[in-house]
Structure 1
Amino acid sequence: MQEQKTRLTSQDWIQAAFRALCAGGPQAIKAEAIARELKVSKGSFYWHFKDVPALKLQMLEHWQRKATEAIIQLVDNSGENSAGRLYLLVEVATNTDTYAYGGVNVEAAIRDWGRYDEHAFEAVKTVDEKRLNYVTELFSNCGIPEPQCRSFSRLLYGSLIGLEALSGRTKADRQHDLLQLLDLLLGGNKVAR
């Protein structure tokens, strides 16, 4: 009996493209190279995408949906109060499995890509703005005075980005450090969730 081949989805290609991005930068996002990694023909690529620029645009849209919009929706649907949502947001952001996308460095790779590509730059800018606005709103709902909310948001978000860039840091280390920072920002003690 012959083994049936698994049909690849556009998400399979997008995940492989992110792995290529992490391994070799935006110039590594090539249909032929990704097809080799997936052990399929290039024809499979063209079934899902018009060309490599179309793949790149779908990668950025996918990242915005999965790494921002879906997380915000998950946190909002948790039933937690605003402080609880902040803690949950840190937990989700530091526990998300990014292996299929190239690992913990995928966000750094996207940010680096944004330094050289207008579409990637705009996607990073949009994601940063949406994430910062969301965290600012949560801090505001916790009773933090308005001028501090934006600053606290940048401190928490910037710390997440920076901690991901530090070598040798585990998910547990990043989460612990961010939760400690959140405790400090919310007044030095854990706010009841």
Structure 2
Amino acid sequence: MNKVAAKRMSGGEHRTPERLSRTDWIMAARDALISGGVHAVKVDLISNRLKITRGSFYWHFKSRAELLGALLELWESQNTKPFEEVAQRTDVDAVQKFADMVRIWLDENDFDPAFDAAVRDWARSSPSVTKRIMSIDAFRMSQLEKVFQDMGYEGTEAMVRARVTYYHQIGYYALDVHESKARRRELLPYYLEILMGSRGDLQKALQLL
């Protein structure tokens, strides 16, 4: 949904307040955050980019703070819900769940790494955003921990494996590692062997991926 909306907003067509939706503003704010940081998420800058008056903004939002709050909610939903949906499935085993989570990161269709990185940069200047990120990170890792528990790992080991898996992937984005998808898939068997351990069915996971 975000890519389609982004394309729609890049056209620069004139819109009335009634035609420009709340979602349009949030998506435009998302684009501004990714390209210029939180300081670029300003009503004047975004309205100029959209070629529309400030009145359109106040048609949907009371303040910039409300827009920023909606932006965080979009990030939380868009980049967290896919993992939650996988973890809560009851019709597949743990190896399938793990493979599905890995695919979310690999494909980058349901997970937007640029958006995730932009929110983390925003947190450097906002204690409240830092707190929100810490909460979401903990929740995402708890979903991974459940998967490792389903594989047969218990207690601290399940928790640590979840952390290592999560830190490994987030580290790719934080360090801005540039690798082709082909190269990442080439390295995948080695990563999975380390991350899944002896209780994970490596060959099955690779077939699923």
**Normalising to structure 1: TM-score of the pair?**
0.83
Is the 1:35–1:42 Cα contact (8 Å) retained in structure 2?
yes
Is the 1:25–1:109 Cα contact (8 Å) retained in structure 2?
yes
Match of 1:111 among 120, 128, 138: 120
RMSD value, Cα: 2.8
Q: Does 1:149 align with 2:161?
A: no
Partner of 1:39: 51
Cα distance in 2 between the residues matched to 1:36 and 1:119? 28
Alignment of 1:1-193 (within 5 A): 5=15, 7-74=19-86, 76-77=88-89, 79-97=91-109, 104-164=113-173, 165-174=175-184, 177=187, 180-187=190-197, 190=202, 192=204
Is the 1:156–1:182 Cα contact (8 Å) retained in structure 2?
no
Q: Deviations over 1:85-110 (max 9, x none)?
A: 111011013323389xxx63221111
Is the 2:82–2:104 Cα contact (8 Å) retained in structure 1?
no
| One-letter code aligned to 1:168 | H
Q: Specify whether residues 14 and 179 from structure 1 end up closer, same or farther in structure 2 by C-alpha distance, changes over 3 A only.
A: farther
Cα distance in 2 between the residues matched to 1:4 and 1:32? 16
| One-letter code aligned to 1:139 | F
Q: Specify whether residues 94 and 38 from structure 1 end up closer, same or farther in structure 2 by C-alpha distance, changes over 3 A only.
A: farther
Unmatched runs of 5 consecutive residues or more in structure 2: 1-12
Q: Bigger relative contact order, structure 1 or 2, given CA contacts below 8 A and separation 6+?
A: 1
Cα distance in 2 between the residues matched to 1:128 and 1:177? 25
Deviation at 1:40, TM superposition (A): 2.3
Q: Specify whether residues 5 and 93 from structure 1 end up closer, same or farther in structure 2 by C-alpha distance, changes over 3 A only.
A: same
| One-letter code aligned to 2:65 | P
Deviation at 1:116, TM superposition (A): 1.2
Unmatched runs of 5 consecutive residues or more in structure 1: none
* Farther-moved stretch of structure 1 (40-49 vs 151-160): 40-49
Deviation at 1:158, TM superposition (A): 0.8
Deviation at 1:41, TM superposition (A): 2.1
- Three-state SS of the structure 2 residue aligned to 1:105 is helix
Report sequence identity in percent.
Answer: 28
* Farther-moved stretch of structure 1 (16-25 vs 49-58): 16-25
| One-letter code aligned to 1:32 | D
Deviation at 1:178, TM superposition (A): 5.6
Q: Specify whether residues 179 and 92 from structure 1 end up closer, same or farther in structure 2 by C-alpha distance, changes over 3 A only.
A: farther
Is the 1:75–1:88 Cα contact (8 Å) retained in structure 2?
no
Q: Specify whether residues 33 and 170 from structure 1 end up closer, same or farther in structure 2 by C-alpha distance, changes over 3 A only.
A: farther
